[in-house]
Amino acid sequence: MAEWKLPPKAKIYEALGAIGDGRVTIVEPGQAQVASSDGSKTYLVEWSEDLRQITSNDNASYWQGYTGYPIVAVLMQLGRLDFSKDAAALLSGIPWKQLNRRFRNDYAKAIATVLDDLEAKGTPRETITAEVDRIVVQLEGLRLEKLPRRKRPPKEAK
């Protein structure tokens, strides 16, 4: 069974934001929906009973082969990844899609902008970067496998 690649750290920031915004909904056992930051798409995340296999129809998971932010957010919601609720709250309300588009998917620039904004409001960037690093280590330890069934990414609502 194929194992998921680790995502860019930017996807951990996005997942924390999804949790902070309350955009993760467990629909039924083994299935959740995650709304995009601008609300134009809803991603489907499905997993096996033991949570060893998981899949999502977000673009990153589908096309790039790494765990996209919807998978990471669902793992947080289900308690498989420990995270700081404070970090999630600090990263809520961030228009990730807009930022990624503005910086042409240069995730480092998008993250730097978010961290600069947080620092200007009194949150040291290390508070967030250390939390993201901690989550990456946990995610790596899960060694998640790809669930065989896959659905194509949703089209953007017009």
pTM: predicted TM-score of the whole model, two decimal places: 0.93
- Kindly state whether residue 155 falls inside one of the protein's structural domains: no
The average confidence (pLDDT) of the chain is 94
Cα–Cα distance between 114 and 2 in angstroms, integer? 33
- pLDDT tens string 50-87: 999 999 999 999 999 999 999 999 999 999 999 999 99
- Residue 136: domain span: 9-141
- Kindly state whether residue 3 falls inside one of the protein's structural domains: no
In this prediction, residue 157 has a pLDDT band, given cuts at 50, 70 and 90, of low
- Kindly state whether residue 156 falls inside one of the protein's structural domains: no
- Kindly state whether residue 150 falls inside one of the protein's structural domains: no
Higher pLDDT, 154 or 125: 125
Q: What is the mean pLDDT of residues 27-47?
A: 95
Based on the structure, what is the number of domains in the chain?
Answer: 1
- Kindly state whether residue 157 falls inside one of the protein's structural domains: no
Angle, nearest 10°, between helix axes 69-77 and 125-142? 90
